[in-house]
Amino acid sequence: MSLAYTQILFETMRYFNHTEIYSTFKEEDQTPILSVCFKNNQYEITYHKTQNIELYDKLESVLTIIHGL
């Protein structure tokens, strides 16, 4: 998915902040790497391997992480 489409997806998550929409990013072999959700006015990134959760206020921070995958 291009960075522009990813940005649109995450902006849409913010617009529908009364729901929990998750987007999961996977390895080429379909192993999940991380999921992104927008809740409580923050983007929540969950790393599947470690179950660590990181919270971000700024969309640009999330896009930087996704772009680095």
Q: Which stretches of 1-69 are DSSP H helices?
A: 3-15, 59-67
CA atoms within 13 A on the CB side of 59: 13
Average pLDDT over residues 25-45: 95
Beta bridge partners of 34: 25, 47
**Quick one: pLDDT at residue 2?**
86
**Cβ atoms of residues 59 and 45 within 8 Å:** no
Residue 30 confidence (pLDDT) above 90: yes
Question: Has residue 1 got a pLDDT over 80?
Answer: no
Average pLDDT over residues 23-52: 96
Q: What is the mean pLDDT of the chain?
A: 94
3 has a pLDDT exceeding 90: no
